[in-house]
Chain A
Amino acid sequence: MEPSLARYIWLHTKKQQAWILMIVLLSMIPYFISFDLPKLIVNGPIQGKGFGQPGATQPFMRLHYDLPFIGEVQFFSGFQLDRTATLFALSTVFLLLVVINGLFKLYINTYKGRLGERMLRRIRYDLVDRVLRFPPTYFKRVKSAEVATMVKDEVEPLGGFIGDAFVQPVLLGGQALTAMLFIVVQNFWLGMIAAVIVVIQIVLIPRMRRRLIVLGRERQLTARALSGRVGEIVDGIGAVHVHDTSNYERADIAARLGLIFKIRFDLYQWKFMVKFLNNFLAQVTPFLFYMIGGYLALQGRLDVGQLVAVISAYKDLPGPMKELIDWDQARQDVQVKYQQVVEQFTVEDLIEPRIGALTIDNPAPMTEPLSAINLSMADDGGAMLLDRISLQVKPGETVALVSTATGGAEALAEAFARLNWPDSGRIASGANDLLGLPEAVTGRRMSYASSDVFLFQASLRDNLLYGLKHAPLRSVSYDGAAAEQHRWNVHEARRSGNPDIDIRSDWIDYASAGATGPHDLFEAVRRVLDAVLLSRDILDLGLRSSADLTRHTELARRIVELRGALRTRMEHEGLSGLVVPFEPGAYNKEATIGQNLLFGAAAGSELADKALAANPYFASVLRQAGLDRTLYEMGMEIADQTIELFADLPPDHQFFQQLAFMSAEEIPAYETLLQRLKNRPYEAVSENDRAMIVTLSFAYIEPRHRFGLLSDELMSKIVAARNRFYENLPPELQNAIERYDPAKYIAAATVMDNVLFGRVGNNHPDAPDRIRSIVYDILEELGLYGELLDVGLDFNVGAGGRRLTAGQRQKLDVARALLKRPDFLILNRPLSALDQRVQDKVLRNVLEEARCDGHSPAIVWVVTNPVMGMMFDRVIVFDSGQLVEDGTHETLLAGKGIFKELLS
C-alpha cells in the first residue's frame, strides 16, 4: 500500500480536492461582501449619509465598473430608493448573504464529510481485501482482534481528516499570509517582529510535537495489543477457568491499562504544554507591538494611526495560525496511525488478485492427476514435516494416508488444500502449479475438511451452503424504493473503490450440488447429512426450536393432521397414557398451574415467567375468579415446604436441579419474606409480596411435586379463570399470548410442543425418548420429515460453532465438503472427535455418497486408524516425513513394513 497518507489521499481524491478548493474560494466572495455590508447599512440609511435632503433617493443595485482604457461602464442604473426603503433593501441583502454563506458552509462541510467517509470506506475495504490475500503463514503470527481493531478503530480518525487534508492548509495559510502582508505594509519593522515570532512558532512547535508523535505511536500499539489480549481472553476463557488463571489475566490487563494510562497522561501533559507555549508566543507579539511600537511612537518615529492599524490587523493572525498548527498536528497524528496500519498490512508474498478474482462461470473439471513433486514442508520452527516426497493421486482414485505420529500426512493434506505453502518442491495439477491456479478452480473442484473446523456464527443451513457461495449467480431484481437504494449502493461502492457485487443475490451454486434450484437443493442436503449421520441431531434441534412460520408453512398447515396421527399412533401402541393432551375445557394435571391458567404460549415479555403474577390484568382475573387468595395460600405452603426441604443445603447441591419453584439464590429472600408474611392477614400483604408468593404456585405440578395441594374444585376454578382471561383480554396483551387451540399452530412454542399439544407424564422416565421416535416416524409417514430437518437447519451454531458439539462440527464440515461434489476430496482426520465405530460408518457412507450419480472423485483421506485403509483403493504410509510404503491394502498387508506394524 501507499506508505504516505498524503499521496494516498491525493491519488484517490485529487479531482474532488480541487473542486472543493474552488468552492471554498468561491464562497469567499459573499463572505467578504457580508463583511462590508454592515458598514454600508450603518453609514447609509442609519446615519443618513447621502440622504441629506428629505425625500432624497440613492440607487440600489447599480452595477458599474471602472474598466481600464474604456472608463466607467454602467451595466444597470439601479432602483432609486429612499432612506427607509434602502435600509430594508440592504438589510434584506444582509439576510440573503447570511443564507448564502450558510448554504456554502453546509455544502462544503457535507462534501468534505462525504469525501472523508468515502476514503474511510476505501481504506477499510483495501485493508480487508489484503487480509483476504495474506499468505497462510501470516495468520500464525497475528491476533485476530488486533487486525479487527486496526480496520475498525485505527483508521477511523482518517475519515475526519481527509476532507481537510488540502483545503485547510491552503485556506488558513492564505488567511495568515494576508494578515501578515497587511502588517508588513503598515510598518515593515513591526511586520518583521510578527514574522520572527511566527517563524519561531513554525520551527519550535513541530519540534516539540515530535515527542507527541512518538507517544501517539506507543498509544496506538499498546491499545492494539490490549484488544488482542482481550480477544485472547474471550477465545481462551475455558483455559483461564480450568487453570485458575483469571487473576493472572486480571494482573496482565491491569498492567497494560497502567501502561496505556501512563502514555496517555504523558501525551496529555505534552499536548497542553505545547498549547501553553503556542498561546504564549501568540500573545507575546502584541506585547512587543505595544512596547516597541509604543516606544517608537513616543520617539515620533511611528504614527499612532499605523500602530493601531497593525495591532488590529494582528488580531486576524493568531486565529488562522493556531488552526494551521492544529491541522498540522492532526496531519501528523493520522499519518502516524496510517503508517502503523500500513506497516502491519504490508506483507511479502501477498496472494495475487487474479487468484481470488470473481469468476461467474464454473471452471472445467480437474481431470489431471494431482501430484506432489519433491515436496518439502516445514513447520514454523523449521522442523521438517515432509522431506522431498513425490507422489501422484489420479482422478477417481481413493487413497488413504496412514501416518505415524510424526509421519506428516496432515502436512501433505494441508499442502493439497493450499493451507500451507511448500518450502521447496511443488504441488501440481497436471502440469500447472497448484498455487498458480485461481481459487475459482481449487475452491470449486476441490474440497477439504479437517478436524479443525471453523463455522461462522450463522444458521446451520448457512454454514452448510457456505461452500457453494462462490459468485453471485442470480441477481435480484429490485423495484421502487429498493431499486433506488440499490442504484445508490452501486454508485457509492464504485466511488469508494469497493466492488459492487450484490450480497443479496442468490450465491448458491445449485448445479455443483447436483440440484437445479432452491426447490431440489434440499434433497442433496439431506443426502449428505444422512451420509455423515448428522440428520438425527438436526431433527432433534428442529424439534426443540420454534419454527419460522414464514418459511415452514407446511408444518403449520398440517399441524392438526399431525396431532391426530400422533394421537392415533399412541393409542394404537397402548401408550396414550404417556401424554396428557391440552383440552380447552379441562385441567391438564401434567402441566403447571401457570400453564393451566394461561393455556397458551407467551410471545412477549409481558406474560412470561416471573412477570405473569405481577401483570395487573392477570392479577385482576385471578381476583374475579376467586383464585387470588387460594393461590397465595398455596404459594405460602410451597414456600414453607421448599424452605424446610432446602434451607440447609449448600447452594451448589445437585438437588437444586430438581427445584422448579425458586433458584438456590432466591431461597434467603423467600425465607425472610415467609417470616414476614407468616401471620399477616391476606388483606395486609402488599401487591408485590403477593405476586412473589403467587408466582411459586404457578410452577406447581401435582404428580411431580406431590404436596397434595390440588383439589377438583381448584382445578375447575382454574379452567374458569382461563376462559375469563381470554374473554376480556385487553388489546395491548393480544400479541403477548398465543392461546392453545387444537386446530392451530402455536408460533411461540417449539415444534415438539406443537406436535404433542400436551404434556408428557412425569412418571414415565423413558417417555420422552419413546415419544420422540414415534414423532419421527409420523413425520416421515406424512412427508414432513424434510420440513422438520429444515427447521433444524435454522439453528444458529453460535460463535465459532460452539453451540454444536465437536463431533457435530466435524460432521458438518465433511457434509459441506461433500455437498460441492468436487473432483478431489481432501479429508484430513476429519472425524477425530467421533469414536471409531461412528468414524467407520461415516467413512463408508461418504465413500458411497461421493460416488453417487456416476461421480468418481479422487478421495484423499488422512485416516485416524490404519484399519480404515482397507476401504480404499490405495494406501500410502508416512513415517518421519518420508513416504515409506505405497500400494493396495492387500500388498501392504502381505509385506513386513510399517503398515503391518501399525496394524498389529
Chain B
Amino acid sequence: MLLKDEVGTLQRVPLFSGIEPTKLKLLAFTSDRVSYSSGQILFRQGDEGDAAYVILSGTADILVDSDSGPIKVAELVPNSIVGEIAILCNSNRTATVRAASPLEALRIRKDHFLRLMNEFPEMTIEILRVLADRLSHTTADLIDARSAK
C-alpha cells in the first residue's frame, strides 16, 4: 500500500475525516508502517502508551486482563484507530491489542499525534466527540448492568 492509498484509508477514519488530504499525507509519511502476523501483540495492558495505531488491513482483538485470564472486549476492523486514550491521558495501556489476522497498521507516535491536535482543532473536536460518544455508551451499559441486577 502506497502513501496515497494510506491517505485514502485515513480519510475513512472518522477522527481524521475533517482534515485536509495534504495534512493527512504528512501524517502518513511521518508515521511508521508496521505489520504484524496473526497472534502478535501490538501493545500490552499496563505498558506505557507511546503511539496510536490506525488499522489499514486485517483485524485485531482488544483484550482486558481479568482474574480468569484475558477477556476479549472488542474487535478492531480496518480504518479504526486504537491506543489514542493512553496517549491523551498520559496513562498506561488500558487493554492489550493482539492481531487476529495478518495486520497492517500505521503507527502514529505520541508527540506527532499531540502536535496534530494542537494544529487542527477540528481533529481535537472530533476526538472529543468520539470520546463523549464512548462515554455515553459506557454510561448506558452501566445503567443496563445496574438495572439487570
A, B bound:
yes
Q: Are B1 and A706 touching (Cβ within 8 A)?
A: yes
Identify B34's interface contact among A645, A646, A658, A765, CB under 8 A: A765
Give the most central of B3, B25, B30: most A CB within 10 Å.
B30
In whole angstroms, how far apart are the Cα atoms of A646 and B26 in the complex? 8
**If A655-B30, A706-B1 touch, does A644 touch B6 (CB 8 Å cutoff)?**
no
Contacts of A551 in B (CB 8 A): none
Q: Are B35 and A764 touching (Cβ within 8 A)?
A: yes
Interface size on A, residues (CB 8 A): 18
In whole angstroms, how far apart are the Cα atoms of A763 and B56 in the complex? 13
**Would you list which residues of chain B between 37 and 95 have a CB under 8 Å from chain A?**
51
Q: Are B107 and A765 touching (Cβ within 8 A)?
A: yes
Identify A708's interface contact among B3, B22, B29, B35, CB under 8 A: B3
Residue A896 lies at the interface, judged by CB distance under 8 Å to chain B:
no
Residue A707 lies at the interface, judged by CB distance under 8 Å to chain B:
yes
Contacts of A765 in B (CB 8 A): 32, 34, 51, 107
In whole angstroms, how far apart are the Cα atoms of A705 and B28 in the complex? 9
**If A646-B26, A708-B2, A708-B3 touch, does A763 touch B115 (CB 8 Å cutoff)?**
no
Contacts of B4 in A (CB 8 A): 708
In whole angstroms, how far apart are the Cα atoms of A765 and B83 in the complex? 15
Contacts of A708 in B (CB 8 A): 2-4
Q: Are A645 and B33 touching (Cβ within 8 A)?
A: no
Q: Are A658 and B29 touching (Cβ within 8 A)?
A: yes
Residue B112 lies at the interface, judged by CB distance under 8 Å to chain A:
yes
Residue A762 lies at the interface, judged by CB distance under 8 Å to chain B:
yes
Q: Closest approach, in angstroms, between the C-beta of A685 and any C-beta of chain B?
A: 27
Identify A705's interface contact among B22, B29, B34, B35, CB under 8 A: B29
Q: Closest approach, in angstroms, between the C-beta of B48 and any C-beta of chain A?
A: 14
Q: Are B115 and A703 touching (Cβ within 8 A)?
A: no
Q: Closest approach, in angstroms, between the C-beta of B30 and any C-beta of chain A?
A: 4
Q: Are A645 and B25 touching (Cβ within 8 A)?
A: yes
Residue B111 lies at the interface, judged by CB distance under 8 Å to chain A:
yes
Q: Are A655 and B33 touching (Cβ within 8 A)?
A: no
In whole angstroms, how far apart are the Cα atoms of A706 and B6 in the complex? 9
Q: Closest approach, in angstroms, between the C-beta of B52 and any C-beta of chain A?
A: 13
Interface size on B, residues (CB 8 A): 20
B96-130 near A? 1/0 per residue, CB < 8 Å:
00000000000100011001000000000000000
Q: Are B3 and A655 touching (Cβ within 8 A)?
A: no
Q: Are B26 and A704 touching (Cβ within 8 A)?
A: no
Contacts of A704 in B (CB 8 A): 33
Residue A504 lies at the interface, judged by CB distance under 8 Å to chain B:
no
Q: Are B29 and A763 touching (Cβ within 8 A)?
A: no
Q: Are A763 and B22 touching (Cβ within 8 A)?
A: no
In whole angstroms, how far apart are the Cα atoms of A460 and B99 in the complex? 44
In whole angstroms, how far apart are the Cα atoms of A762 and B35 in the complex? 9
Identify A644's interface contact among B22, B32, B35, CB under 8 A: B22
User: A655's closest neighbor in chain B, by CB?
Assistant: B30
In whole angstroms, how far apart are the Cα atoms of A723 and B107 in the complex? 37
In whole angstroms, how far apart are the Cα atoms of A689 and B26 in the complex? 26
Give the most central of A646, A655, A704, A708: most B CB within 10 Å.
A655
Q: Closest approach, in angstroms, between the C-beta of B83 and any C-beta of chain A?
A: 12
Q: Closest approach, in angstroms, between the C-beta of A506 and any C-beta of chain B?
A: 49
Contacts of A703 in B (CB 8 A): 33
Q: Closest approach, in angstroms, between the C-beta of A854 and any C-beta of chain B?
A: 45
Q: Closest approach, in angstroms, between the C-beta of A258 and any C-beta of chain B?
A: 46
Q: Are A645 and B22 touching (Cβ within 8 A)?
A: yes
Residue A728 lies at the interface, judged by CB distance under 8 Å to chain B:
no
**If A655-B112, A706-B1, A708-B3 touch, does A764 touch B30 (CB 8 Å cutoff)?**
no
Residue A653 lies at the interface, judged by CB distance under 8 Å to chain B:
yes
Residue A904 lies at the interface, judged by CB distance under 8 Å to chain B:
no
Contacts of B28 in A (CB 8 A): 706
Q: Are B32 and A645 touching (Cβ within 8 A)?
A: no
Residue A654 lies at the interface, judged by CB distance under 8 Å to chain B:
yes
Contacts A645-B29, A655-B115, A658-B30 given; 5 further ones with Cβ under 8 A?
Answer: A649-B26, A653-B115, A705-B29, A708-B3, A765-B34
14 pairs, A vs B, C-beta closer than 8 Å: A645-B29, A654-B111, A655-B30, A655-B112, A658-B29, A704-B33, A705-B3, A706-B2, A706-B6, A706-B28, A706-B29, A708-B2, A708-B4, A765-B51
Binding site for A on B (CB under 8 A): 1-4, 6, 22, 25-26, 28-30, 32-35, 51, 107, 111-112, 115
Which 4 interchain pairs have the tightest Cβ spacing?
A658-B30, A708-B2, A706-B3, A763-B35
